Amino acid sequence: MPLAIALAYCFATGSAGLAAASASELRRTAIVIAVERVRPSIVNIHGEKTIHGEATNVPALEADRRVNGMGTGVVIDPRGYIITNHHVVDGVENIRVNLADGSSYVALLVSRDPVTDLALIKIDAAAPLAVVPIGTSSDLMAGEPVVAVGNAFGYEHTVTRGIISALHRTVQVSEGQKYEDLIQTDASINPGNSGGPLLNIDGELIGINVAVRAGAQGIGFAIPVDKVTLVAADLMSVRRLRRTWHGVVSNAETHASGGLLVASTDADSPAAKCGLEPGDTITEVNGSALARAVDLERALLDHEVGDEVELSVVRDNRVVKLSLQLAALPAHLEPVSDPMWHLLGLRLKPIAAKQFQRFNSRYRGGLSVIAVRPDSRAAKQGISRGDVLVGMHIWETVSLENVDYILNRPDFAQLNPLKFYILRGNDTFYVHLPVSAERR
């Protein structure tokens, strides 16, 4: 409070009023402001999953049991895309997301990267969501104050504080999971914090909390945000989710330049054809500013094959305007392994949200059947080209990642026969297809 205002307030209300005003101002610390800034973009995740005996060493008669899980996530796009840890949502059949305003939604698992333990989920919220302010992990300092927010032990939006204890830590948390280049902090991180934000004192995301050291007190770890956003760019890429192609290759985040540095372009890609060159910095797409790779994918996510987007590019200290036309992903860049074709004789393609709306369906999305192998299991059950796959067993199939998730579940063989939900026109019918445990 400025001195002149404080003195006037003192004369008007007495010294007690001045003390109260000063105390109130002192209470609004940088931590309070940081938490208030980021709170609307933090979500709490709840769900139930099956724990298998071989993973828990329980007796054979209790080989499978249902457990409640919890975790945290952060909103990275106002359309409802949320980044969290893969282990938070892996095997969860009903991912329940609670927002800070108390509203609750069922989330869809969009894509995942078990190696980095990151996953992308999506909710269809009633209004655009607040997005977490993203900082950088490139300039972090040991001893720097940090704040963690998460669903600790199910207590939503729990706030803890501490400092950065060390950087570039390698942590082996289990036989199958090893993390590298982690941020070590003494901010309290407990079960349920996984997938939640580690913030700097300005309320910017600098890491995703991922692990605690068993038996240790006050030691937690987070994935650096620069790595998180690069992985998120892949999880959210139009190449992965829409099978559309831009051909821009970027190997690093470029915060200092205020744009996305182009490392190279794919041969014969839209990026190469529009004149984009290695060393260019993309600063805008259709007038929206870019700071990192995930921003490019976010800007292109609602565009279709054939759409043109305008790029603002800095080259040799001058601004160049380029027009990039999105193309279909060529066959040689498609995934080599196609288990749906191998197992069942189906080839699938994502349907854009706007196109799916014409079905007037209660489902949130689906995959178009673009080919059916003659004499395959799918053909014998009457599935044909033009049908839409909207679900398998108990899961939605909005993206190819959803199908991959189902086919790679450890209990896949137990789902035999596999129930398919097929949309044909405005009618839904159900097909049970026999499958084997062999997926490749």
Residues designated catalytic: 87, 117, 194
Long-range Cβ pairs for the range 271-277 (8 Å, 24+): 271/246, 271/247, 271/324, 272/247, 273/325, 274/311, 274/322, 274/323, 274/324, 274/325, 275/320, 275/322, 276/248, 276/311, 276/313, 276/322, 276/324, 277/315
DSSP state of 412: G
* Full DSSP string of 341-394: HHHT-EEEEE--HHHHGGG--SSS--EEEEEE-TTSHHHHTT--TT-EEEEETT
Q: Residue 192 half-sphere exposure, CB side, CA atoms within 13 Å?
A: 19
Task: Using alpha carbons, select from 41, 37, 237, 35 the residue that is nearest to residue 128.
Answer: 41
- Which amino acid does the sequence have at 189? I
Distance CA 272, CA 249 (A): 11
Find all residues with CB under 8 Å of 129, minimum gap 6, and list them: 40, 41, 75, 77, 78, 79, 80, 99
- Tokens for 174? 């289990």
- Specify the residue for token string 């139930």: 48
Burial class (CB in 10 A: 0-12, 13-18, 19+), 72: buried
Whether omega for the bond prior to residue 417 falls within 30 degrees of 0, making it cis, is: yes
DSSP state of 296: H
Task: Using alpha carbons, select from 266, 286, 288, 270 the residue that is nearest to residue 278.
Answer: 266
- Which amino acid does the sequence have at 329? L
Question: How far apart, in Å, are the Cα atoms of 43 and each of 72, 364, 373?
Answer: 6, 21, 43
H-assigned helices in 137-287: 225-235, 238-241, 270-273
Burial class (CB in 10 A: 0-12, 13-18, 19+), 117: buried
Distance CA 354, CA 368 (A): 14
Distance CA 196, CA 176 (A): 22
